[in-house]
Structure 1
Amino acid sequence: MRSSWLHRTSTQLSVSLVCLCAALLSGLPMQSAGAAPISPADPDKVLRAVIVAPETGFDPAITRDLYSTFITQSIFEPLFTYDYLARPAKLVPLTAEALPDVSVDGKTYTIHLKKGIYFAVDPAFKGKKRELTMADYVYSFKRLLDPALSSPQAWLLEGKVVGLDDLAAKARRSKHFDYDADIPGFELIDRYTLRIHLNQPDFDLGMILAHQPTGAVAREVVEKYHDPQGQIMANPVGTGPYILTEWVRGSRIVLTANPDYRGYIWDFKAGRDPGDQRIVAQMKGKHMPQIGRIEISVMVEDQSRWLAFQNDEIDLFQLEGPLAPQALVNGKLKPELVKKGIQLSRIVDPEVSYFYWNMRDPILGGMRKEKIALRRAIAMAHNVREEIKVVWNDEAVALEYPIPPGVVGYDPTYKSSIQFEPEVANALLDTFGYKIGKDGWRTLPDGKYLQIRYTARADSNGQQQLEMWKKTYDLIHIHMVGDRKPFPDILKAEKQCQLQTRTAPWIADYPDGDNFMQLYYGPNIFQNNNGCNQIPEYDKLYAASQKMPAGPERDLLYHKMARILEVYAPIRVGYARYRNMLAQPRVIGYKKHPILPVEWMYFDIEKRQ
């Protein structure tokens, strides 16, 4: 079991003591004395990065927040990944030898694994060098459906693999998941070949197997370090380029290059983009990764992050909307920053920030007409474009469709039936009995008190969102109270359907519309369906869409599903934010990827003088 000191928030211990304890007490891997490193990473090349909210932990089957995913992506490797420079995103092999061989009917995937890939050195392997095999992937896939874990990532494989759901159902009855049980859906041809048999066609499975939760976890690691829930949030051990060597919860994370990582030679191709051509000229032929140490600080407040970047205490920095005027003019760097050599990588994130109303909440939820009217009225009272201007300093684009730009299935011509119409919203509430009392606030149709609680992150950005939504509710005479919570607490609460309403951002796990339409699918409640939405018409269409490849036929179903969301209003589509990444002049070859959470295994940095 890991040492309890990992759970302390105190930073009084010296860095050397932290590193030593992390290695000796919690089992974090250390290079054996005298062992020659394989990784080309230079320990004197240090990248200092920052995240805007506390991490939750580093078990790929459990982690669902973006910031923890920065770490899991660096440690655990799925079978596939994405080309660093290709746009739109292009699927490529990672630990697999090649892209999967897919049957004509889309129901059978055959995948071959590269030989000679090893897990990082760890006491769990009892001094032996541990090679990665396809059995490790089968074990990791099964973990996603283990009822004891309650993985929020179960949706990735749920209902898809022949026999896997039956195994999970048996575990729910027996209270024991049999990881040794053979199922027809996972056919191990040999140590390095896996054939996956699906219940129905799934043309997105390759992209799903590039998503971080499907990264390979060794069974020995889970058995040595698991907590009572079976999780390994504090003891990640993978085959990837980095290992966790220091962790002070909610404060500081340090990754160092895995000395036994196999590495690769940088050989990505540039298109017509001059920026890509410059990156190729800087990076081509380098043995990767180059960066030997990554120091990640948690800084919740915008101004603290900006000041640290200005003082050259941070090398790579996400400039969120509230800070945009400090560095940008019309989407471009200010001249004084250009003069300093500061670099900007700017994209519209393949994300949707949407507003949900909890469909299980006694005030907002349900399918009765007056409940639908209440949600539709709130949706029509909210001025999305004003929120973009006030909260995000115009660093976002308003969306009409549930699928954002840059994702397969996006329709730029779609027009939502929900628009900013506060007069209509008030009339709708009047019609369905939400009367305005003497105090100026509306009551429920039965005359009882009506109050809505909106939840936001406990930071300056969250405060702005609270103020924006208070204005929305004031427009329709509904009393709103603000609820500020730490980010990990928000994720935990909404997974259990405990929040009334909030603005929920979702960034693409993979660049297909399915990844966004699943957010409102009934069986995904307690996973990614934050609003706990269950509409039979929607669920039926979504299930049908999963059997189809991308194309006009599936797009037609997506259109119908979008209209259903507008009619019943469990959510309202909001916006996709720009992602502005600022880098110091010493950063070499950096470009923000639309799907990969982090890119530090693909670029270089000069040593600090």
Structure 2
Amino acid sequence: MKSTWLRGLLSSSLSACFATSLLLAPLQAAHAGTNPADPNKVLRFVFVAQETGFDPAITRDLYSAIIVQSVFETLYTYDYMARPAKLVPLTAAALPEVSDDGKTYTIRLKKGIYFADDPVFGGKKRELTMADYVYSYKRIFDPKLSSPHTWLFEGKIEGLDELAAQAKKTGNMDYDTNIPGLELVDKYTLRIHLKQPDFNLGMILAHEPTSAVAREVVDKYGDAQHMVMAHPVGTGPYILSNWVRGSRMTLTANPVFRGSIWDFKAGTDPEDQKIVAELKGKPMPQIGRIEIKVMEEDQSRLLAFQKDELDLAEIQGPLAPQVISNGKLKPEFANKGIQLSRTTDPEISYPYWNMQDPVVGGFSKEKIALRRAIAMAYNVREEIKVVWNDEAIPLDYPIPPGIVGYDPDYKSSIQYDPDVANALLDKFGYKIGSDGYRTLPNGKPLIITYSAYTNSLGQQQSEMWKKTFDRIHIRMGSDLKLFPDILKAEKECKLQSRTAPWIADFPDGDNFMQLFYGPNTHQNNNGCVAIPEYDKLYAQTQRMPAGPERDALYHKMVRILEVYTPSIPGYARYRNMLAQPRVIGYKKHPILHAEWMYFDIDKTK
């Protein structure tokens, strides 16, 4: 017997993430194939770091994901206005029907959704079907791709892991092989059969790596590894019409996009009520062109915004005092009609040490002592004050505020105490030489390299970490790299230490606890951690809904991380988004990356 989505998911904690009825998404379809966007409405935006490419199965950085989310579509998305985040259908006709045992999901697709026009389709309209999603899910497991997102479905869907194992043996993924876990009931109906209940599956199907990609596009434009990083073709509201790598991108309205009617609801917040009054009933998207520049230097972004060269810009901590006082815009900005959308990002920026590195990695007592001493010498509050101008909050727990599973009362066993850190290094044989720096227990020089971005922010972080290492008499090597190079080296376990930011893909603690799961090495496990006790508990949490029982296991897992110290939680930053007066109805969403299909711009201003 099949139950509705809500009857199938009994966990009360999910009520914050899912809709309370089987109504369609608040953005109802307008007229099929008639994108209402006005080509004369232009939004100028800025990236604070370089993009890497636009293949949903490969992309893992925030800035590329913004483009992916604009061009491609997942089955589900999030309500633009709801806080906490609430799941709603996107290309799906409704939220899933879930079997009573929680292992079978039946999902129906809206009809009449088309991919953007592209020569690969031979001049014909190419309709989206459930077969495209099945192909895209299998593609994440194609060994030629080495996708960093296999963890989303790994061990979950019947037959998918086995298909991937066969592909590794033969060197070729057989996309035409039917597997029991991805049952195409008909052209518009997909039934997913799970090996065990997955209480996060709906949110996973809203994450951009699960976007629908057309097989013809991959066959035509894919490289030797079957990646399509430079020619994205999706069903979303925009197309990538221009790209100068690492410099600028242009999105223009997809002419065949079906359009939607803005029909979100507001709570008691007056600002939300104002947004609803301004936008309710409008066909969406309204903005016909998005012009994006890459500007890595903070001061350059602020100057460009002040000169009215940008409509929307992120102002990070180093610049915040010039614009914000006590969390609000300074009068000289507010009096000009500038708008501020300020949130605490659902993120952790966490220092880690490469557990495969011969100097800082490993599980011997002296290696654990070394990492723990560095962690105790790190003054997170000083970094927040000096580097981020108090535009962040310190974390004791690896799940940040706003995410299911966050514990505001948790206290880490690792606290700032450089005296104890020095005593610990003394005890385990890291002696201070005549030059004032410590050596390894075997007497060889001890140098630990910290990697950061090449911009001024990265330089500030490096200077702060040099102070950390100086407190405990360890010589630090500085390694400044471009953003894409850091991501590549990190995935290959080639960085020794770094502060890695991770912003939520979906609003559940699993998205953060997976960062330290052994099998996710070369995916999102940047520190290349593999702790058997932790991995066993993590696998156990995968079979549990959010709630006190899972929280108890999370606490045990965090204590294990503290014992071995492969990383420490760090901090979560405030996100300050400035909007010019002409921007109508903008509100930064905690999960969505690209909100421009939900707000408007007054082209007369």
Describe the superposition over 1:497-530 as per-residue Cα deviations: whole angstroms up to 9, x where unpaired.
0000000000000000000000000000000000
- 1:126 aligned to 2:119? no
Q: Deviations over 1:274-313 (max 9, x none)?
A: 1100000000000000000000000011111110000000
Equivalent pair of 2:352/2:498 in contact (CA under 8 Å): yes
Match of 2:217 among 221, 225, 230: 221
* 1:557-603 CA distance string (max 9 Å, x none): 00000000100000011000000000000000000000001200000
TM-score, normalised with respect to structure 1: 0.94
1:68 to partner: Cα distance: 0.4
Name the counterpart of 2:188. 192
SS in structure 1 at match of 2:568: strand
Aligned partner letter, 1:86: A
One of 372, 380, 384 as aligned partner of 1:384: 380
The letter for the 2-side match of 1:432 is F
1:324-362 CA distance string (max 9 Å, x none): 011000111001101000000000000011010000000
Structure 1 residues 79-118: aligned runs within 5 Å: 79-118=75-114
Q: Does 1:361 align with 2:352?
A: no
- Which amino acid is 1:132 matched to? L
Q: What do the CA deviations read for 1:403-462 (whole angstroms, capped 9, x no partner)?
A: 000000000110000100100100100010000011100000011110000000110110
Q: Distance in 2 between matches of 1:147 and 1:373?
A: 38
Report the residue type matching 2:422 in the other structure.
N
- Residue 528 of structure 1 pairs with residue 524 of structure 2: yes
TM norm structure 2: 0.94
Equivalence for 2:154: 158
1:519 corresponds in structure 2 to 515
Structure 1 residue 471 displacement after superposition: 0.1
Give the superposition deviation at 1:103.
Answer: 1.8
Q: Distance in 2 between matches of 1:270 and 1:100?
A: 25
Assess if the C-alpha contact under 8 Å between 2:237 and 2:597 holds in 1: yes
Q: How does 1:137-286 map to 2 (within 5 A)?
A: 137-286=133-282
- Name the CA shift for 1:37/1:188 in 2 (closer, same or farther; >3 Å): closer
AA in 2 matched with 1:182: N
Aligned to 1:467: 463
- Specify the SS of the correspondent of 1:352: strand
Q: Are residue 545 (structure 1) and residue 555 (structure 2) matched? A: no
Distance 2:297 2:265 in 1: 38
User: Does the 8 Å contact 2:357/2:496 carry over to 1?
Assistant: yes
2:42 partner amino acid = V
Aligned-partner Cα distance in 1 for 2:206–2:408: 27
- Any residues of structure 2 matched to 1:339-354 within 5 Å, and which? 339-354=335-350
C-alpha distance in 1, partners of 2:398/2:601? 38
Aligned position for 1:47: 43
Q: CA deviation at 1:104?
A: 2.4
Structure 2 matches for 1:364-375, cutoff 5 A? Answer: 364-375=360-371
The aligned residue for residue 489 of structure 1 is 485
Count of residues in correspondence between the two structures: 574
- Aligned match for 2:552, one of 541, 553, 556: 556
What SS class does the counterpart of residue 572 from structure 1 fall into?
Answer: coil
Which 4+ stretches in 1 moved above 6 angstroms? none
Aligned counterpart in structure 2 of residue 327 of structure 1, from 303, 319, 323:
323
The match for 1:414 among 410, 424, 437 is: 410
Structure 1 stretch 103-112 or stretch 549-558: which is displaced more? Answer: 103-112
Secondary structure class of the residue paired with 2:416: coil
CA contact (8 A) 1:78 1:209 kept: yes
User: What is the deviation of 1:200?
Assistant: 1.2
Work out whether residues 396 and 570 of structure 2, in 8 Å CA contact, stay in contact via their aligned partners in 1: yes
Distance 1:326 1:241 in 2: 35
* Aligned twin of 1:297: 293
SS in 2 for 1:538: helix
Tell me, in whole angstroms, the C-alpha distance in 1 between the residues paired with 2:242 and 2:150: 29
Tell me the equivalent position of 1:580. 576
Which residue in 1 is equivalent to 2:55?
59
2:312 and 2:278 mapped to 1: Cα distance? Answer: 18
Q: How far 1:97 moved relative to its partner?
A: 0.5
Contact persistence 2:33–2:258 (CA under 8 A): no
2:41 alignment partner, SS class: strand
Identity fraction in percent: 75
* 2:392 alignment partner AA: A
Gaps of 5+ in 2: 1-31
* Residue type of the alignment partner of 1:422: P
- TM superposition shift of 1:159: 1.1
Letter in 2 for 1:138: V
User: Offset at 1:37?
Assistant: 6.8
Q: 2: distance between equivalents of 1:423 and 1:107?
A: 53
Structure 1: runs of 5 or more not aligned: 1-35
The DSSP-based 3-state class of the residue aligned with 2:34 is coil
CA deviation after TM superposition for structure 1 residue 540, in Å? 0.1
Deviations 1:189-209 (A, max 9, x none): 000100101111100000000
Q: Deviations over 1:441-496 (max 9, x none)?
A: 00000111100000001101101000000000000000001110000000000000
Q: Could you tell me how far 1:608 is from its partner in structure 2? A: 5.1
Taking the aligned partners of 2:423 and 2:497, their CA distance within structure 1 comes to: 22
In structure 2, the partner of 1:5 is none
Instruction: Determine if contact 1:135/1:188 at 8 Å carries over to the other structure.
Output: yes
How far apart in 1 are the matches of 2:594 and 2:419? Answer: 44
Preserved contact between residue 45 and residue 608 of structure 1 (Cα < 8 Å): no
- Helix, strand or coil: the match of 1:392? coil
Query: C-alpha distance in 1, partners of 2:554/2:43?
Result: 42
Q: Deviations over 1:4-42 (max 9, x none)?
A: xxxxxxxxxxxxxxxxxxxxxxxxxxxxxxxx9710000
Structure 1 match to 2:306 = 310
Give, as a single letter, the amino acid of the residue that structure 1 aligns with 2:586.
Y
Pair 1:603 & 2:596 matched: no
- In 1, the alpha carbon distance for the partners of 2:319 and 2:137 equals 40
